[in-house]
Amino acid sequence: MLDKHIESLTSLLGPNGVKFGSDLAAYDQGFDASNLLAGLAALPRDTHQVSEILGYCSAAGLSIVPQGGRTGLSGAAGSSAGQLIVMMQAMAQIVAIDTVSQTVLVEAGCTLEALETAVRAHGLTCGIDLGARGTATIGGMIATNAGGQEAFRFGPMRQRVLGLEVVLSDGRVLNDLTQVIKANGGYDVKQLFIGSEGTLGLITRACLRLAPYEGEAVTAFVAAESLDGAIHLFRRLEARTQGRLLRAEVMNAHHVQLSVKDHGEAALGTFAGDKDCVIFEHTDAAMLEEELGRALEDRLIADALLCKNEKERAAVWKIREDWAVDRAYPKGLWFDISVPLSSLGRYVEELAARLRSYNPAFHLFFIGHMGDGNLHVTVNADHPITDQYKPVTKLVYEGLKEIGGFFSAEHGIGVEKREALLAESDPVRLALMQDIKRLLDPKGIMNPDKVLQVRD
Ligand SMILES: Cc1cc2nc3c(=O)[nH]c(=O)nc-3n(C[C@H](O)[C@H](O)[C@H](O)COP(=O)(O)OP(=O)(O)OC[C@H]3O[C@@H](n4cnc5c(N)ncnc54)[C@H](O)[C@@H]3O)c2cc1C
């Protein structure tokens, strides 16, 4: 079968459009070890080719795994033998930037960094940013409804998308590339594909909203008296400075101490002490300094450090973006949850207490996008604890629904949160999801067994 698929796909895409064997093995597998296991990949150059690939796969019963930058963190781009990977990197064109409407039409394989660089030249920004910016693609970000560091200002990807072009599982092309904010045409079908993790269709092009670029930011590293105090300061900065607060990233004290030790940044470790810390980025240095002074007087925060140059800024961001915790304690457990800001401080205290009483040898680390209450929680120990997934998940999710939070924030369901989706979701919502999957992918060829396991 493999030879037949290679021959058929080569006739559709030409020899450079099909990769297998050592050619495919030379690609970076990305974040998940199973990403390239299919051993066969197609690299379409335009929407027509994507349509031909899907038409062929539908007829041949060959299932596909769409892939962008392979930076996803939930195993949603994993593949296995007998499947076809569809890599979107050859569709990376920025088709048109409309500076008056403040929109961009872009192909799905364009990376976030390339798009941000292009729109910045026009004084605009995508209004979304994440650590994997250099590799993550617009298609992958739409498919996972990525959030990141600016979601508290502009929302996650769902709120950036105005229009989409999607190839359906039978090869038909859905063209819904509107470029306006108001477009009421009955059911907003394109929304189904945002966050669907490649299980309903393959996104080929998107029209995104842009925003005026606010200019260079100054960075403050703040040691919090309490999470509630830091949130109070966040709201003050937001209220007073109307859109000029760009980032508010939180890290617990354990995360800060472990990272600074790993990086040899003793001075930052002494500064942070036993406090949870927040990175604030703001475009008005004087205003930020003034508000930090007021917050110190009001004892909302314990201390604050304004970065004087790029070297200091990079050292502070390295604490947030480096993976020192996972290097120090491999095979821990990760969670990506949303907590309403009014409950964040109490939730973290109670989770720490629950974990302590379950097993005092377990460590609790978290980092997060404080502005929208998204915490990336890591629980680990001096030894691997992957066998503790079920009881620890119960402790992390306990009470979350009751306070209006959610078990899955921005990384998607993939394979890692499939069980949690079943346990945490409203049954009617789950049944509707199954119906939608059957309707849009009747042969079950689109990224099978990701998000949902649909059985007849
Ligand atoms: C260092 C680091 C930092 C990160 N920070 C954040 C963060 O702050 N916020 C956040 O939300 N995420 C973050 N992530 C996760 C990741 O970057 C996002 O999930 C991103 O959206 C994935 O994009 P990708 O192009 O790499 O997609 P991939 O990993 O290739 O694929 C992810 C999913 O999208 C599907 N897919 C990909 N392209 C398409 C397409 N064209 N059509 C249909 N389906 C498609 C795949 O099948 C898969 O289900 C981070 C990851 C890393 C490694």
3-state secondary structure of 107: strand
Residue 263, pLDDT above cutoff 90: no
CATH dotted code for 2-87: 3.30.43.10
What is the per-residue pLDDT for 44?
98
Cα angle for residues 408, 411, 416 (degrees, 5° grid): 75
Which numbered atom of ligand 1 lies nearest the CA of 412?
19
Ligand 1 center–CA 306 separation, angstroms: 32
pLDDT digits (tens, 9 = 90+) for 374-385: 999 999 999 999
pLDDT digits (tens, 9 = 90+) for 168-183: 999 999 999 999 999 9
Bridge partners of residue 281, in order along the sequence: 219, 247
Q: What percent of the chain has pLDDT over 70?
A: 100
**Ligand 1, pocket-test mutation among 130, 149, 173, most atoms within 8 A of CB:** 130
**Under 8 Å between Cβ of 305 and 273:** no
What is the per-residue pLDDT for 385?
96
Q: Whose CA is nearest to atom 8 of ligand 1?
A: 148
Ligand 1 center–CA 422 separation, angstroms: 22
Ligand 1 center–CA 45 separation, angstroms: 20
Query: What type of residue sits at position 82?
Result: G
Which numbered atom of ligand 1 lies nearest the CA of 447?
47
Q: Any idea which residue has 């899955």 for tokens?
A: 408
* Class at the top of the CATH hierarchy for domain 329-424: alpha beta
- Please spell the DSSP secondary structure of 43-84, one letter per residue: --SSHHHHHHHHHHHHHHT-EEEEESSS--SSSTT---TTEE
d(CA 456, CA 448): 13
The answer to whether domain 94-212 has CATH 3.40.50.720 is no
Bridge partners of residue 245, in order along the sequence: 282
What is the per-residue pLDDT for 439?
97
Ligand 1 center–CA 120 separation, angstroms: 22
pLDDT band per the 50, 70, 90 thresholds, residue 264: confident
Q: Whose CA is nearest to atom 20 of ligand 1?
A: 141
pLDDT digits (tens, 9 = 90+) for 96-146: 999 999 999 999 999 999 999 999 999 999 999 999 999 999 999 999 999
Residue 103 CA from chain centroid, whole number? 22
Q: Any idea which residue has 């460590």 for tokens?
A: 363
Q: What percent of the chain has pLDDT over 90?
A: 95
**Under 8 Å between Cβ of 47 and 12:** no
Ligand 1 center–CA 260 separation, angstroms: 28
**Under 8 Å between Cβ of 369 and 147:** yes
Which numbered atom of ligand 1 lies nearest the CA of 31?
53
Q: Which residues line ligand 1 (CB under 6 A)?
A: 31, 65-73, 76-77, 88, 108, 130-132, 136-137, 139-141, 143-144, 146-148, 197-198, 202-203, 410-411, 447, 450
pLDDT band per the 50, 70, 90 thresholds, residue 454: confident
Query: What type of residue sits at position 184?
Result: N
Count CB-CB contacts under 10 A for residue 177. 15
Ligand 1 center–CA 135 separation, angstroms: 9
Q: Whose CA is nearest to atom 6 of ligand 1?
A: 130
**Ligand 1, pocket-test mutation among 46, 53, 73, 327, most atoms within 8 A of CB:** 73
Q: Whose CA is nearest to atom 15 of ligand 1?
A: 72
**Ligand 1, pocket-test mutation among 37, 71, 418, most atoms within 8 A of CB:** 71
pLDDT digits (tens, 9 = 90+) for 200-210: 999 999 999 99
Residue 20, pLDDT above cutoff 70: yes
Q: Would the CATH topology of 218-324 be identical to that of 329-424?
A: yes
Ligand 1 center–CA 118 separation, angstroms: 20
Average model confidence (pLDDT) across the chain: 96
Helix (H) / strand (E) containing 65: strand 63-67
Q: Any idea which residue has 């502005």 for tokens?
A: 371
Residue 455, pLDDT above cutoff 70: no
pLDDT digits (tens, 9 = 90+) for 61-78: 999 999 999 999 999 999
Domain boundaries, the chain: 2-87, 94-212, 218-324, 329-424
pLDDT digits (tens, 9 = 90+) for 419-431: 999 999 999 999 9
The answer to whether domain 218-324 has CATH 3.30.70.360 is no
Q: How many residues does the chain have?
A: 456
Which numbered atom of ligand 1 lies nearest the CA of 131?
3
Once rounded to an integer, what is the mean pLDDT over residues 238-248? 89
